[in-house]
């Protein structure tokens, strides 16, 4: 089953998977509530999930819910978002693999098959980064300060970058305005930003340049 908030992406994944003689897409969803309902009804062998969903829980929150409700169901994340920031987070949440949408179609099929086979799927570069972190006991030098954000803080920062105000973020995540204001304050402190205006500016810059690797937070 595929969970993605873009119909054209869901259609593309379905065409890619359905051309395999032994694989088929049994269902799709555009947000977490739809996904959880469909998973319970369809009982797929694997869920292919994006990080950014239409509303409510983001992909990481959904993965945590899937792990709680369907602990044996493997989840493969297929996303446009930079694996260096999201891959490890999704594995901690319970996913079994992470692949970026920029990869060749045959790589996506390979990732699906390997996760179905009980393996963990990551790009070679990301796998080496995580192994290095485990061996050394710390992240590689030169990492972005954004990596220090918690999953929820990152989700709030991402929504800010998409132009959402505090009330909109609160409604989207089903949280109170006060809770979102607290998250914003903690994000500002972690990124060493001076005020709310600078926080919003950097969130927008980050959202625009997320896939280029060009975003920098001042030290």
CATH number of domain containing 152? 1.10.10.10
Are 114 and 74 part of one and the same domain? yes
Q: Name the DSSP letter for residue 98.
A: E
* 161-165 LR contacts (CB < 8 Å, sep 24+): 161/203, 161/204, 161/205, 161/206, 161/207, 161/208, 161/210, 162/207, 163/204
pLDDT of amino acid 216:
37
Between strands 2-3 and 47-49, the pairing is parallel
Alpha helices in the chain (DSSP H): 7-18, 32-42, 59-69, 83-93, 105-116, 124-136, 151-161, 166-173, 177-190, 196-209
Question: Residue 100's domain is classified under what CATH number?
Answer: 3.40.50.2300
Q: Which domain holds residue 31?
A: 2-136
Indicate if the alpha-carbon torsion angle 146, 158, 65, 16 is positive or negative. negative
Are 79 and 44 part of one and the same domain? yes
pLDDT of amino acid 138:
58
pLDDT of amino acid 41:
96
**Structural domain includes residue 10:** yes
**Structural domain includes residue 219:** no
Are 79 and 62 part of one and the same domain? yes
**Structural domain includes residue 94:** yes
Are 86 and 163 part of one and the same domain? no
Are 42 and 9 part of one and the same domain? yes
Are 95 and 152 part of one and the same domain? no
**Structural domain includes residue 217:** no
pLDDT of amino acid 213:
39
pLDDT of amino acid 115:
96
- Look at residues 116, 136, 156 and tell me which one is the last residue of a structural domain: 136
- Look at residues 106, 136, 166 and tell me which one is the last residue of a structural domain: 136
Are 151 and 56 part of one and the same domain? no
Are 127 and 155 part of one and the same domain? no
Give the whole-angstrom CA distance, residue 184 versus residue 158: 11
Closest listed residue to residue 37, CA positions, set 57, 77, 66, 5: 66
Give the whole-angstrom CA distance, residue 176 versus residue 180: 7
Give the whole-angstrom CA distance, residue 173 versus residue 209: 24
Are 126 and 150 part of one and the same domain? no
**Structural domain includes residue 199:** yes
Q: What is the pLDDT along the chain (219 residues), one digit of tens a residue?
A: 999 989 999 999 999 999 999 999 999 999 888 999 999 999 999 999 998 886 656 788 899 999 999 999 999 999 887 777 788 889 989 999 999 888 899 999 999 999 999 999 998 888 877 777 777 665 555 556 788 888 888 889 988 888 889 999 888 888 899 999 999 999 999 998 989 999 998 888 887 776 443 333 333
**Structural domain includes residue 37:** yes
Are 58 and 103 part of one and the same domain? yes
**Structural domain includes residue 100:** yes
pLDDT of amino acid 60:
86
Domain count, the chain: 2
Are 63 and 161 part of one and the same domain? no
Give the whole-angstrom CA distance, residue 206 versus residue 188: 14
Are 164 and 190 part of one and the same domain? yes
**Structural domain includes residue 171:** yes
């Amino acid at each position: 089953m595929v969970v993605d908030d873009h119909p054209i992406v869901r259609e593309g994944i379905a065409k890619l998977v359905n051309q395999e003689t032994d694989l088929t897409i049994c269902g799709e969803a555009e947000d977490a509530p739809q996904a959880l309902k469909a998973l319970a009804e369809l009982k797929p062998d694997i869920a292919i999930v994006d990080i950014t969903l239409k509303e409510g829980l983001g992909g990481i929150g959904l993965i945590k819910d899937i792990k709680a409700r369907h602990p044996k169901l493997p989840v493969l994340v297929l996303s446009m978002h930079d694996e260096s920031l999201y891959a490890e987070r999704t594995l901690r949440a319970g996913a079994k693999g992470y692949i970026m949408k920029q990869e060749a179609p045959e790589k996506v099929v390979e990732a699906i098959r390997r996760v179905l086979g009980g393996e963990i799927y990551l790009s070679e570069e990301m796998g080496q980064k995580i192994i290095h972190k485990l061996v050394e006991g710390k992240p590689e030098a030169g990492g972005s300060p954004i990596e220090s954000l918690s999953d929820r803080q990152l989700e709030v920062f991402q929504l800010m970058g998409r132009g959402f105000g505090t009330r909109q973020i609160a409604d989207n995540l089903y949280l109170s305005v006060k809770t979102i204001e607290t998250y914003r304050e903690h994000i500002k402190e972690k990124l060493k930003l001076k005020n709310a205006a600078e926080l919003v500016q950097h969130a927008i810059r980050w959202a625009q340049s997320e896939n280029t690797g060009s975003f920098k937070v001042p030290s």
